[in-house]
A and B are shown apart, each in its own frame.
Chain A
Amino acid sequence: MAIDWLAIAPEVALTVTALLVLAADLALRGDAKQLVNPLAMIGTVVAIVFAVVLWAEAPRVAFEGQYVVDSFAVAFKLLFLGTLLAILAISARYFAEGRYFQGEYYFLLLTAFIGMLLMPSARDLLVLFIALETVSVPAFVMVGMRKRDLYSSEAALKFFLIGVLSAALMLFGMSMVYGFTGTTRLEGIAQALAGDAGSVPLLLGSVMLVIVGFGFKISAVPFHFWAPDTYAGSPLPVAAMLAVASKAAGFAGLLTIAFVAFEPVADVWAPVLGVLAILTMTLGNLVALQQRDLIRLLAYSSIAQAGYMLIPFGLARPGAEVVNQAAVRAVLFYLIAYAVMNVGAFAVAIGVNRRTGERSIRDYAGLGTRSPLLALAMTVFLLSLGGAPLTVGLWAKFAIIEAVAVEVTVFGLVMASFLVVNSVIAFFYYLRVIREIWFEPAAAEAPRLQPALSLSVVVVVLMVGTILLGVLPGLVADPTVVTTFATGG
C-alpha cells in the first residue's frame, strides 16, 4: 500500500518538530533552552507551507478513505496552524520567565496540534476518536503544569475527569453505531442510516452520545462546568489554546460527524443542538456578567460564543444540501473570526499579567495610560467579541444570521432572536472592561507595562486582522471556498 505522504505532510512536519523539540530540550542547558520556541515556530511555518501546497492539491483521499484533505480540511488546518504560531509567540516570554518545563510544554502543545490537524480530515470514527484524544491528553497535562498552584491542579483534575467521562460516553456511542451499521467509515454510516437502520431508538441514542462527546470539547451547556475553572487555573497561553484551538478542533470534528455521518438523521439531532445553542449562549452570557476575573469572563464569553456557533447546527435538515452547506460555512467563518479576536484578547491578558500577576478586571483600570498599545488592542478585541461594526465580530454574527435566512423556519428565527438578545447582553460586560481600561485612573503604584516584542507583534497583527476582516470580510468569506465534504470513496 502506497502512502500519500503529501496528504499528511503538515502532520508529519509537526511530529518531526515535536520530537526535535524534545531532543533539543534534553541537549540544551540553562537559557539556551529558550531556543526550543523558535524551533517550534520554524516547524509550524513548514507545516503551514505544506498546508498551502495542499490547498492547491485538494481534494485528496488517502488511507483508503479514512483521511480526506478537501478545502474544508485545509481551511481548518490553516486556522489551527495560524493559531499555533500565535500561541507559540505569546508563550515565549511567559514560559521563559515562569521557568516552567519549557521543552515538555512545547512538545505537548505540538502534539495536541497534531490531533487538531487530523480532526477535520478524519472520515472514520476510529481516526476521529484518536484525533480527539490526541488533542485532550496533552491538554490535561499542560493545564496542570503550574504544580505549585492549587488552582492549576484543581483545573487539571476537573478537566481530566470531565474529559474522561465524555470520552467514555462517546466511545460507547461509537461502538453502538458500529454495531448497527457494521462500519466505522463516515460515508458508510451515512448510507446505513439512510436505509432502514435509521429508526431504531438505541441507534439514535448512540448518535446523540457521540455528539455529546464533542459537546465537552466545545464546552456547550451542560458540559461547560470545567471551562471557567480550567481556563482560570491553567497557564494563560494554555487557556488561550483551550479557548480557541481546542474548541475549533471540537467544532471541526462535530461538523464532519454531524454533516457527513449523521446527516440522514439530522431531524433528530438538529433540534437538540439548537436548544443547546440557546441554553449555551444565554447561560454563558448571564454568568459572564457577574465575573470579576478577566480570564473567567473570557471563559464564560467563550461558552457563549460556542452557543452562537451551535446555531447553524440547529438549522440542519436531512437532504437539504443548500441549508447544510450554508450552516457549515457559517460555523467555519465564525471560528476564523473567533480565533483572531479571542487569541488577541488572551494575548493582551498575558501581556498585562506579566510580572504583575494582574488578572482581575479592576486591575485593568487605567490601562490606557499604562500601555496604550495593549489598551487599544483589548478594546478592539472586546468590541469585536461583542460584534461591533467595523470589526470581524459583526460579520461573524452576520454569517450565522445569513445561514438562518437561507431557508426561514420558526425555530431558526427563535435561535436568531436569541442571538441578537444575547449580543446585547454581552456588550454590557465587554463595555465594562473597556470603561475600566479608559475611564478609571490607574492605581498609584501600578507599573508601566512592557510587553515582550513577540507578544506585541501578535497583538498588532491580530488587531489589524480584526479590523481588516471587519472592513473586508470577503478576504476569508469568499463563497468560492466550497464547504462540501469530499467523499472518501
Chain B
Amino acid sequence: MTAHDLVFVIVGLVTAVSAILVVTSRHLMHAALYLALTLTGIGGVFLVLGAGFIALVQVVVYVGAVAVLFLFGLMLTRAPIGREALDSQNRGLGLAVAGALFVLLAALIIPAFGGESTAEVTGPTIEAIGIAIFADWVLPFEVLSMLLLAALIGAILLARREAGESGTEAEVTRIEMGEALADEPDRHEAVGTSAPAGELGAGGGR
C-alpha cells in the first residue's frame, strides 16, 4: 500500500462516515454541516485522483455555495432547527431502499470496472480545461448562460411579491375532477364570483 492509497482510504472513510452521519444525525444543523464535510470529502477524492481543478470547483460550488445555502435556508425560514421532528419514522424503509440500491450498484459496477488496473493518473492542466470549455465546448457553455439567466429571472418571478400592474388579476382555476362533483353549483354564476377566492397570497397589490 503506497502513501497514495493510504490517503485515498482516509479520504474515502471520512466521506463515507460523514455521509452516514448526515442521515443519522438528529440535529438538522449538524446534518447540514456533515453534508458540507461529505462534499469536501468528495473534493478530496478528486484531489487524490489528480484532478486538482475539479477538486477546487467541487469545494467552491458545493461547500461554498450549496451547503452554505442550506444553512442560510434553515436559518432564514422557520424550519425546526433543534433536536425535534427529524425522524420521519421511515428508517426501515429508508435502510431497505438504500441497501438495495447499494447492492444493485455494487453488483453492476464492480464487474464492469473491477478489472481495470489503476494507472498513474495525471489530470489535465487548468489551461487544457480552459481551452476545452471556451473553444471546444463553447456552444453548450453559451447555452448554459441563457439557461442560468432564465433560472435567475424565473426565481425572481416566483419569489417576487406581486404588486402594481403584474399578476393581480389571476383567476382561480375551476377544475372538475373525475365524477366527484355530483351537486355542482351553476358554473356560470360561480365563475363570476370566484375571483376573490383566488386571493391566496397574504400580500398582494390591492
Contact = CB atoms under 8 A, between A and B. Distances in A.
Interaction A to B: yes
Contact of B138 (A63, A104, A112): A63
A345 interface: no
Interface residues of A, number: 72
Nearest to B180: A292
A216 interface: no
B154 A140 contact: yes
A67 B139 contact: yes
A126 interface: yes
Nearest to A172: B105
Specify the main secondary structure of chain A where it touches its partner.
helix
Interface centre among B137, B143, B166, B174 (most CB of A within 10 A): B143
Interface stretch (B32-40, B72-80, B90-98, B186-194): B186-194
Contacts of A202: 108-109, 111-112
A445 interface: yes
Interface string A343-385: 0000000000000111110110000000000000000000000
B187 A360 contact: yes
A355 to B, nearest CB: 9
A148 B108 contact: no
A146 B170 contact: yes
Contacts of A178: none
A298 B28 CA distance: 44
B87 interface: no
Interface residues of B, number: 51
B175 A99 contact: no
A65 B158 CA distance: 38
Contacts of B185: none
Contact of B177 (A100, A126, A293, A445): A293
Interface string A78-100: 00000000000000000001111
B94 to A, nearest CB: 17
A22 interface: yes
A62 B204 CA distance: 49
Nearest to A124: B140
B6 to A, nearest CB: 26
A203 interface: yes
Interface stretch (A131-139, A264-272, A328-336, A451-459): A131-139
Contacts of A295: 175
A223 B132 CA distance: 36
B10 interface: no
Nearest to A235: B170
Interface string A96-127: 01111110100110011011001000001011
Contacts of B194: 357
Contacts of B84: none
B147 interface: yes
24 contacts: A1-B138, A64-B136, A98-B169, A100-B166, A104-B153, A104-B157, A114-B143, A118-B143, A127-B140, A131-B143, A134-B146, A134-B147, A137-B151, A141-B158, A144-B158, A147-B158, A149-B200, A201-B112, A232-B173, A357-B191, A357-B194, A359-B173, A359-B175, A446-B188
Given A99-B170, A147-B167, A360-B174, 19 more contacts: A64-B136, A99-B165, A99-B168, A104-B157, A141-B155, A141-B157, A148-B172, A148-B199, A148-B200, A149-B172, A151-B172, A180-B112, A201-B111, A202-B112, A232-B173, A293-B176, A295-B175, A360-B187, A443-B187
Interface of B: 108-109, 111-113, 135-140, 143-144, 146-147, 149-151, 153-158, 162, 165-179, 181, 186-188, 191, 194, 198-201, 204
Interface of A: 1, 3, 8, 15, 18, 22, 30, 33, 62-64, 66-67, 97-102, 104, 107-108, 111-112, 114-115, 118, 124, 126-127, 130-131, 133-134, 137-138, 140-141, 144-152, 179-180, 200-203, 205, 232-233, 290-293, 295-296, 356-360, 362-363, 443, 445-446
